[in-house]
Each structure stands twice: as C-alpha cells, then as structure tokens.
Structure 1
Amino acid sequence: MTDKFRRSVLMLAVVAGAYVLSFFHRFAPAGIAQDLAVAFQTTAASLGVLAATYFYVYTVMQVPTGILVDTLGPRRILLIGAVVACAGSLLFGMAPSLDVALVGRTLVGLGVSVTFIAMLKIIAVWFDEKHFATLTGICMLVGNLGSVLAGVPLSLTAQAVGWRSVFVAAGVLSLALGVACWIWVRDRKDGASEAHRPKFDRTVILGGLAQVLKNRATWPATLTNTGVAGAFFAFAGLWATPYLVQVHGYSRDVAASHLSLWFGGFAVGCLALGTLSDRIKRRKPVLVATTNVFALLWLVWLSGATMPVGLSMALFALMGLATAGFSLTWACAKEVNPPLLSGMSTSVANMGGFLAGALLQPLFGWVMDLGWQGGMLGGARFYGIEAWRGGLAVIAASACLGAAAAWWVQETRCRNVWRGDGHGG
C-alpha cells in the first residue's frame, strides 16, 4: 500500500465520518417525532415543515456545492460547513420555541449540505473511475450508520437523557470533524499548492452548469433520484415511526426498530448494488429492478393491512435494499457528462431527491391534517387510517415517478460516455 493510497483512504474516511453525522441529522426527526410534537405543540403540517427545512436548504445548496468543489475544492467548504452545522445543532437542541428550532434545523441543513458532493469529488479525483460506484456504495454504507443511529439508538437515548442533549453533543462532534477535515483533506491529487487553486470564473462555471442541464442524458437519472430518494427522505425522515405506532399499533421502540432495518437494508444495498453494477458493468438493469420493487412495496403500506411484526420488519428491510437502487443515479449522471464537471453533474442529480423530500414532508402533513378527526395520543395528534392513506398516496406517487424514469436512463457500461456534442453518448 503506497503512501499516496493511504492518504487518499484517510481523507475519504474522515469525510465519511462527517457524512455519518449528515445522515443522522437527516433522519433524526423520525426517531423523536413524538418528542418534537409535544415540545412545540405542532400540527402534522408544522412538524413536516420543521423536518423539511433541512431538505429545503440542502436542495438549494446542491448546485452551489458542486460548483464550489469543482473550483475551490472540498477542504474549505467542509470546514465552513462543519462550523455552520455545529451552530445549527446547538441552536436546535436549546430551542425554546418552534421558530428557533426552525432556524437551527435550517443551519444544520446548510452546514451538512456540502459533505456528500465533497465526498464524491474526492472519490472522483483520488480513486480510479472504475471503482466509483463501489466506493460510493461503501461510503453510503458507512454514512448510513448515522441513519441507523437515528432509529432505535436515538429513541432510547432521547428517552434516557432527553433529545436536546443529543443535539448539543452532535454540534460538538460536528466541529471536531470539521477540524479533522481541515487537517487531512487535500483538494488536488498532484499536491499543488493552495496558491494554484483554480480561480472562480463565473462565465466558465455557469457555462459548465448549463452544459450539464442541457444534456438530455442527465435528466432520467435526476428524475429517478427525485422520485425514489424523495419518497425515502420524506417518509423515513419523519412519518415512518408515527405511521407504525398509529396504524399498526406498535410500540415506539418496535417502530424505531423497523426504521433501523430500513436504514440498515439501505446501507447494505448501497454497497451491494454499487459493487454488483461495477462487476457486471451495467447500471440500468440494477436501477430498473430495484426502483420498480420499491414502488410496488408502497401498495402494502397503502393497504394498511394487519400483519405479523416479523413480516413488517422483513418488508422494511427489503424496502431498504430496494431504496438503495437510487444510489446508482450519481454514477449515471457523472458518466454522461464531462469528467471535469463531475461535481456539478452529481449535484444536479442529487438535488432532485432533496427537493422532493422538502416538498413531500409538509405536503404529507397537510394531507394528514385534512383527515384529522380531533384525536390525541400522548399529547400529540392521532390520525386514523384514512388520513394516513392520503399522505401515503403522495409518497407512493413519488416512488412511481422514480421507477418510471429509471427505464429512460442511458446505459453507460460503467464508463464515461460523454461525446462532447451535448449528449451522453
């Protein structure tokens, strides 16, 4: 193992650590939804807005982040992002009101929004292209430790020490990881000095972004990400635990266990599907199969059918594996655009899912509130099966959009096929 390889692995490991925290913040509201509803006395729509602020700012930041990592490099923005996320997490943990919590959650989303694209840029610059999907899958596997922590561990910890203490600790950890990124991450493989960083040229950057957006081959991957990731972020990020408690009658801990299985299946699936895709040198068959299974599974949750807890847990694990299919969309978008625009192309694809998550979480809550019959449970609103079906129909429609778009994704055979004429290949 060469020194250069060791350095690249260490770099990726540090950023992956920050990515774990990003995933934790993304899905944490699901584990403490009941606590937040009681603490701030919110409606379902208001709770959806609180959870979705992360996704709003994350969405807005995807293209700027892609531009920044392609011009300034990931090192600086990782440190700045960590400082902002630290401030947001501390503010959220100490928030006396819903309005202050909204500001804190927004800052958290702003701070962690740079991590994923910076990580993809490091993989693209420091590692062989043929391993891109595999390494992305490994990082997703590691990152998903954060989502697993947002399930049962967060639920139990919040009950033991309070949810506020958890977010104060997360803020301190965020700052520590930012410092580690500053120490170990390097932007350029050739070791050029910071004085030789590429300068920000607005005309060139906007031209590059326009090139990615005008490329018709970019959009099927983006829409697949939008539908599948949007459904995942919206439901797993907030509504899954309350759904299982109120519709299926599970305890909070059992419901959180379902969520952890979804996250665990997603983590394993990202690694397994990325590796499978790289080995068979095909993207599209894997993407089509998984996204269509994911869409079909929503028929089960729409039915509200009673089932043994073991079966519902197995279905959540399967849903996690199927959800992981959308992780291939980053490679699909990158491989149909110029290599120098890898940050922009992956960020454009990534933006769709976060935009959908931002819109679907409050929309789900709004539809739920329309069907609320006035019931209360543990100081928070209780919703009947028909109200839940209305919200789930919104999520299912998003999943179907993603499954349909996957059929139009261009097969790249795991290599860059950009031709330079405005098309993927």
Structure 2
Amino acid sequence: MDTRRAWWVWGTGVFAYLVAITQRTSFGVAGLAATERFDASAAALSAFTVIQLIVYAGLQVPVGLLVDRFGSRVMIAGGAVLMCLGQLQLAFAATVPGGLAGRLLVGAGDAMTFVSVMRLLPVWFGPKRIPVLTQLTGMLGMLGQIISAVPFAALLHLRGWTGAFLAAGALSVLAAVLAAALIRDVPAGAVRPVPQTLRQTGLSLSGAWKQAGTRLGLWSHFTVQFAGNVFVLAWGYPFLASAQGLGPGTASVLMTLFVLVALVCGPFVGTFVSRHPMRRSSLVLLITAATAAVWLAVILYPGRAPLWLLVLLVVVLAGGGPGSMIAFDFARTFNPVSRVGTATGIVNVGGFVAALLVMFGIGLILDALLAGGFSGGQLYALESFKLALSLQFVFLAGGAVALLATRRRVRAQLAEQGVIIQPLWKVLVSRTRTVRPDARTGRNSRPGAPQDAGEPGARG
C-alpha cells in the first residue's frame, strides 16, 4: 500500500469534512443577521437548524448504501457541490422558505460527507491505526466550528450576509475539486469492488442491521453524542448567558473550550480503543454516567452554579464527542468492508435522532412553562431551564439500558466464537493481585488475569 498516498487521501477527506462542519454551523453565528434579513420570529429561525438536522439524520442510511455502491470519491465531491449550492441559495434568499431551501441542500451535502470519509479508513489503513484515525477525523473536523465562529463571523460583519455566504460556498468548491483530484476509493493495484445490485444493496442493509455489533454502535452513538450536540447547537449558550447569568464573553469562551477539550480528548480515546478493544462499551458507559452526574450536579445546585462547575460541565460534555466516535469502531469491526458504509450510516442516525428529540422536547417544555406563568413568565428562567434540561436523563437512561441489552447479545455471539469477555470488575480485581515472577520465564505475571488482546468482531 502507498503510505504517502493513503495520508493524502485521508487528509483530503478530513478537509472535506472540516468544510462540511463549517457549513453546518455557519448559520448558527448568523442568527441576529438572519432575524433582520428574513424578518422572522425565533420559532421560524429555529426551523433552519431543525430541518437541516432532520435531513442529515434521515439521509444517513441511504448515504451509507450509496457510498458502498458508488465509492467515497463521488459521494464526498457530490456532497461538497450540494453544500455549495445550498450556501449560494442562502446568500441570495430574502424569505424564510428560500432560506430553508438552502439549508436543506446544506444538510443533504453534509450528510454525504462523514460516512464517506469513514468508509476510506479500512481500505487505506491497517486495523491498529484506525481507532486513532477515527478520533482524529472527528476532532479535526470540529475545527470547522471554529472557522464559522471566527473568520466567517468576521466576514459577515465586514462584507454582509451575501458576501459571507458566497465565501462559504467557495470553500465547498475547493473541497469538491480536491476530492475529485486526490481521493481514490481503493489503493493502486487493489481489486475494485463490483457495484452492488439493488438486491445486494437490500441484503447489505439487512445484514448490517441484523448484526448485533451494528446496533451496539447505534445505541452507543445515541447515548453519548446527543448531550453535547444539544448544548452546542441549541440550548448551551442561552443556558449559560441567560439562565446562569454569564457575560457574553465568558459564555463564548466556554463554548470554545468545548471544541478544544474535544480535540485534546480524541487521541486519548482512540489510543484506549486500540489497546483495549474489548472495553469499548465500558468507556461509553463511563462517559454516559459522567454526563448524567455532572448535569445532576448543575441542576440540583441551589441557584446559579459556580463557574468551576459550569467549566466541569463543558469539559464532560466535550468528552461525549470523542466517546461517540467509538460507535463507528463497532460498525467497522463487526461488518465486512463491503458494508461498512451502510453500517456507519445506521450508527450515525442514533445520536442525531436523540439530539433532535431532546432539542425539540426542551423547547416544548420551556414554552409550556412560559404559558403556565412558571418562574415569573420568563422563557429562559433558571428554574424553567433546569426542569426542561432534565429531559436528558430519560434519554441517557434509556440509551444505557438499550446499550447494555445489546452488549449482552454481542458478547453471547463472541462467546460462541470462543472469545470470552470477562466482566470488567473481575479484570480489575485480578490486576490488584500480588505480582509474582513466573517460574519458567522469570517474568512478572498475574495468574488468571483476563487479557484484552485482540479485536472483537467480524473482521477481527
């Protein structure tokens, strides 16, 4: 395999994903300008984010099937073209329906990108490198959020609405050109897979869903990804600035801290997954428990939470981003390469569906409390927010239960293949035993210590 070419292919895919994140989050920093341009209410403006995420989540499975059929190069370049058209439409839109049409195109193009980039990894790299590269793909892509928050926001202020969104569209043109020129679906000399027939496509979808490991990835993504998305894309800034009374500068710093912490955590999570593949679900559950605990502390704290607790909240929520990437490692290791795209698409639905439901549910609860005159009739009152944000516990608990049930099925299947995974508590107890030298080798050993070596799944 041409190692240098593999890095160029992956780097180009990461750049395309970074551009996709930039386009996804660009409208979020243009809220005030959008209010003036479209003369729209807050409810109408929220529809821009909701419709974009609905399109994104709804297309994940179809995109997974298409990338397995047509390859990553076509899908990444095509997604960049759609996002360019969407930003051009938004640049010249003067009404809410016109703007929504633009965001619909952006959501569709965005949906085509991540799954296609992930499809490249098992083709171009060995299994030992993939967990870390999976984390780096997700975390480097998040830099697009900083691009939209800083240079795009500055351009919006200096050049106005049309100029800023035209520039964003031009960035997608560059991504499309680079993808078409540099990305290849398989290494030189490798056998190119024959495109699937419609019947084979249906069998691929059915096979990916029937694989319990795919569903384990789905519930992992569902459980750990939504809390961070809800915070960053919808309710985090109002909660910090209005309910918690932080100044705009402090709230912005905390939102930026979210991205930076996620970037730092990603490689550590990837290294852990690579070294301890049998404990991936345990790490997901640990992150879930930490998320629930920190939200419980913030909600139960009498009055406004101290700054240190809000910083801790942001740090823990940021860890959910790298944690959610573990879900795609399940999709990869429990499915053959021919249907990795399909399995990845199924997994990617989980977190975004949960995020949409929680975002919408929190809004409904806040509106209901406002209509009932709760907390003096203030929409973003602290007590109202605490009640509304408690909805997250339902999804955290439900996702954890589903994850545990699915993990039991996965481990039963692995046991049939001769792979016995000891409960984590037994592993921890065994490692606390007194270390003694082996009589034959002279090396230290722990009798009966279960091993974490090996990668579970169909491709192990």
Contact 1:28 1:150 in 2 (8 A): yes
Matched, 1:76 2:74: yes
Residue 458 of structure 2 corresponds to 418
Instruction: Report the Cα distance in structure 2 between the residues aligned to 1:73 and 1:333, rounded to whole angstroms.
Output: 17
Residue 245 of structure 2 corresponds to 249
What is the 5 A alignment of 1:344-359?
Answer: 344-359=342-357
Residue 439 of structure 2 corresponds to none
Contact 1:16 1:119 in 2 (8 A): yes
Residue 233 of structure 2 corresponds to 237
Q: Which amino acid aligns with 2:108?
A: L
- 2:258 counterpart SS class: helix
Aligned CA distance change for structure 1 residues 65 and 5 (closer, same or farther; 3 Å): same
Aligned CA distance change for structure 1 residues 34 and 306 (closer, same or farther; 3 Å): farther
Question: Which stretch of the first structure deviates more once superposed, 317-326 or 207-216?
Answer: 317-326
Contact 1:218 1:336 in 2 (8 A): yes
Instruction: Report the Cα distance in structure 2 between the residues aligned to 1:153 and 1:390, rounded to whole angstroms.
Output: 36
- 1:256 counterpart SS class: helix
- CA RMSD across the alignment: 2.9
Contact 1:93 1:168 in 2 (8 A): yes
Per chain length, whose mean CA-contact separation is higher, i.e. which structure has more relative contact order (CA < 8 Å, sep 6+)?
Answer: 1
Tell me by how many angstroms 1:291 deviates: 2.0
List per-residue Cα deviations over 1:178-228 (Å, max 9, x = no partner): 1100000001224469xx662340101101110111223322321221232
Residue 223 of structure 1 corresponds to 219
Aligned CA distance change for structure 1 residues 221 and 133 (closer, same or farther; 3 Å): same
Question: Identity of counterpart residues, as a percentage?
Answer: 27
Q: Which amino acid aligns with 1:321?
A: G
Query: Which one of the candidate residues 359, 362, 366 is aligned to 2:360?
Result: 362
What is the 5 A alignment of 1:39-118?
Answer: 39-40=37-38, 42-118=40-116
Long gaps (5+) in structure 1? 376-380, 420-424
Instruction: Report the Cα distance in structure 1 between the residues aligned to 2:35 and 2:272, rounded to whole angstroms.
Output: 42
Contact 1:293 1:322 in 2 (8 A): no
Residue 19 of structure 1 corresponds to 17
Tell me by how many angstroms 1:395 deviates: 3.2
List per-residue Cα deviations over 1:66-107 (Å, max 9, x = no partner): 112212111111111111101112222333222222111111
Count of paired positions: 411
Instruction: Report the Cα distance in structure 1 between the residues aligned to 2:176 and 2:366, rounded to whole angstroms.
Output: 39
Q: Which amino acid aligns with 1:206?
A: G
Tell me by how many angstroms 1:374 deviates: 11
Long gaps (5+) in structure 2? 415-451
Instruction: Report the Cα distance in structure 2 between the residues aligned to 1:58 and 1:385, rounded to whole angstroms.
Output: 32
Tell me by how many angstroms 1:115 deviates: 1.1
Residue 393 of structure 1 corresponds to 390
Query: Which one of the candidate residues 204, 207, 214 is aligned to 2:210?
Result: 214
Aligned CA distance change for structure 1 residues 417 and 399 (closer, same or farther; 3 Å): same
Aligned CA distance change for structure 1 residues 149 and 164 (closer, same or farther; 3 Å): same
Residue 177 of structure 2 corresponds to 179
Contact 1:18 1:115 in 2 (8 A): yes
Aligned CA distance change for structure 1 residues 5 and 106 (closer, same or farther; 3 Å): same
Tell me by how many angstroms 1:173 deviates: 0.2
Contact 1:47 1:365 in 2 (8 A): no
Residue 325 of structure 1 corresponds to 323
- 1:224 counterpart SS class: helix
Aligned CA distance change for structure 1 residues 32 and 406 (closer, same or farther; 3 Å): farther
Question: Which stretch of the first structure deviates more once superposed, 71-80 or 161-170?
Answer: 161-170
Query: Which one of the candidate residues 330, 333, 337 is aligned to 1:335?
Result: 333
Residue 9 of structure 1 corresponds to 7
Query: Which one of the candidate residues 281, 285, 301 is aligned to 1:284?
Result: 281
Tell me by how many angstroms 1:25 deviates: 3.3
Query: Which one of the candidate residues 142, 145, 162 is aligned to 2:143?
Result: 145
Residue 427 of structure 2 corresponds to none
Task: Please give the TM-score of this superposition, normalised by the length of structure 2.
Answer: 0.80
Instruction: Report the Cα distance in structure 2 between the residues aligned to 1:293 and 1:13, rounded to whole angstroms.
Output: 33
Larger Rg computed on CA atoms: 2
Aligned CA distance change for structure 1 residues 289 and 154 (closer, same or farther; 3 Å): farther
Query: Which one of the candidate residues 279, 295, 298 is aligned to 1:298?
Result: 295
